[in-house]
């Protein structure tokens, strides 16, 4: 067996395992770093809409904002080259979690790939929601540059914030048709369900990272291999990580996505987040959390509601706004995904209770869900409040617009969490500094 790593970042794994009879691709990451070379797309902001064209380049879509230069157009991503991976020779793809799922069409469509994709059911369902959300955000963007002249090195390297990668290797986001063709290739699995892929027995096991996230065990006649990717041994809302299969008779263990936060823990970060939310709400400020509508957000909603209910000085009428075109579907799915939950939340599914209290929050008016900032939201919006909105890149979606609206008031806070806190936070926010 041969292993080839195509990973540029430890937290974005991409490997090919090769045996005499098969080649299996492990994970399909995308890198959002290119997003930060593009203008944020907001609904109505004179400051952003009227950003000056940089005259020295003579290209109308190169604009200046906060002493930096950005492209006014749909943001692009970077992914591992299909030619480098030889996708036409890949027999199967294994996707470990919904965060990697969103990149699939870049690897499977128009690349020569003709095999099958394997993921757990809930990783498939949540990954599909994130695909649909991003496609909706891309559709909202009106600016469409006619060419890619700006990517020439003699132009883009003169930007004060020159790209750290070669923009010629970036790709536009896929279309809905690509997504639908990709999804027809997916076969869903349960945890500990073993399948035979070309004489290799493959089993997904619980990683504890998030809903449906998996590590993998590969077994042949001669060897047993473990694949340890994003995992959490102390998760509270999803099934606990299975350690046994990764220790039992393993010949080789492939490890990636190790935490780089050696001086803290997820629990400590959670405490810090709730303390920050509490402080700003007590000061009658609002809090914006740019976050994807699946995963940690489910627990976060409950934690924020507890703060509002139990803290003296915070009005019990403080609303929590959840804004995403797929928010309703994500919340509904969270209430029925018993197979993927921790034991305590599983029990609630089979009682008159629900595993999460989201329905109660919605009925009471504390949690208010909107597909976008259009329509009812603009009529019903009030402060102080907590806003949970996509996209955490702050380049597409509704979170960027709300920062533009509320960011000038020092009483308000923006809290960056999740995978996008791995990117330079200041790169994410420079467009708004010193606004925030």
Tens-binned pLDDT, residue by residue, of the chain (436 aa): 899 999 887 788 999 999 999 999 999 999 999 999 999 998 878 888 889 999 999 999 999 998 899 999 999 999 999 999 999 999 999 999 999 999 999 999 999 999 999 999 999 999 999 999 999 999 999 888 889 999 999 999 999 999 989 999 999 999 999 999 999 999 999 999 999 999 999 999 999 888 889 999 999 999 999 999 988 877 766 778 899 999 889 999 999 887 666 656 667 777 888 999 999 999 999 999 999 999 888 889 989 999 999 999 999 999 999 999 999 999 888 765 556 555 555 555 555 556 567 788 888 999 999 999 988 998 999 999 999 999 999 999 999 999 989 988 999 999 987 665 555 556 667 777 654 4
Token look-up 């029990």 returns 347
The reply to whether CATH 3.60.15 applies to domain 2-255 is yes
If you write DSSP's letter for every residue of 34-71 in order, what string do you get?
Answer: GGGGB----SS-HHHHTPEE-GGGT-TTEEEETTEEEE
For residue 416, give every residue at least 6 positions away whose Cβ sits within 8 Å of its Cβ, in sequence order, or none: 290, 392, 425, 428, 429
The 10s digit of each residue's pLDDT in 257-307 is 876 666 566 677 778 889 999 999 999 999 999 999 998 888 899 899 999
Classify residue 238 by its DSSP letter: B
Q: Domain spans of the chain? A: 2-255, 266-429
Strand ranges in 148-230 using DSSP code E only, listed in sequence order: 186-189, 195-197, 200-206, 214-219, 224-228
Q: Do domains 2-255 and 266-429 have the same CATH topology?
A: no
CA dihedral 4, 163, 107, 419 (to 10 degrees): 80
Phi, psi of 230, rounded to the nearest 5 degrees: -50, 120
pTM: 0.91
Topology annotation, domain 266-429 = Rossmann fold (3.40.50)
């Amino acid at each position: 067996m041969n292993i080839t790593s195509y990973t540029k970042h430890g937290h974005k794994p991409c490997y090919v395992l090769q045996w005499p009879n098969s080649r299996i691709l492990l994970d399909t990451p995308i890198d959002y770093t290119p997003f930060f070379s593009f203008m944020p797309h907001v609904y109505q902001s004179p400051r952003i809409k009227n950003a000056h064209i940089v005259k020295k380049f003579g290209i109308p879509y190169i604009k200046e904002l906060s002493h930096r230069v950005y492209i006014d157009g749909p943001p692009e991503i970077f992914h591992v080259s299909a030619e480098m991976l030889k996708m036409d020779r890949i027999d199967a793809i294994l996707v470990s979690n919904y965060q990697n799922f969103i990149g699939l069409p870049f690897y499977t469509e128009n690349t020569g790939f003709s095999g099958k994709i394997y993921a757990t059911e809930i990783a498939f369902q949540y990954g599909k929601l994130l695909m649909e959300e991003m496609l909706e955000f891309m559709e909202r963007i009106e600016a469409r540059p006619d060419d890619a002249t700006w990517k020439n090195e003699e132009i883009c390297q003169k930007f004060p914030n020159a790209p750290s990668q070669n923009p010629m290797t970036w790709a536009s986001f896929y279309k809905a048709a690509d997504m639908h063709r990709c999804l027809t290739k997916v076969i869903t699995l349960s945890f500990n369900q073993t399948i035979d892929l070309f004489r290799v027995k493959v089993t997904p096991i619980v990683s504890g990272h998030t809903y449906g996230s998996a590590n993998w065990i590969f077994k042949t006649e001669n060897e047993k291999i473990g694949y340890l990717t994003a995992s959490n041994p102390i998760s509270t809302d999803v099934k606990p990580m299975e350690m046994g299969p990764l220790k039992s008779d393993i010949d080789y263990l492939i490890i990636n996505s190790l935490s780089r936060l050696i001086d803290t823990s997820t629990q400590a970060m959670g405490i810090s987040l709730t303390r920050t939310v509490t402080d700003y709400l007590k000061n009658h400020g609002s809090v914006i959390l740019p976050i994807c509508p699946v995963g940690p957000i489910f627990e976060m909603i409950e934690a924020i509601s507890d703060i509002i209910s139990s803290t003296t000085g915070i009005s019990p009428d403080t609303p929590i706004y959840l804004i995403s075109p797929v928010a309703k579907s994500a919340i509904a799915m969270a209430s029925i995904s018993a197979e993927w939950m921790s034991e305590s939340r599983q029990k609630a599914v089979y009682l008159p209770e629900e595993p999460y209290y989201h329905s109660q929050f919605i009925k009471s008016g504390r949690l208010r869900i909107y597909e976008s900032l259009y329509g009812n939201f603009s009529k019903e919006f009030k402060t102080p409040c907590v806003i949970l909105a996509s996209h955490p890149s702050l380049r597409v979606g509704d979170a960027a617009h709300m920062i533009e609206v509320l960011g000038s008031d020092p009483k308000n806070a923006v809290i960056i969490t999740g995978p996008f806190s791995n990117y330079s936070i200041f790169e994410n926010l420079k467009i708004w500094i010193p606004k925030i």
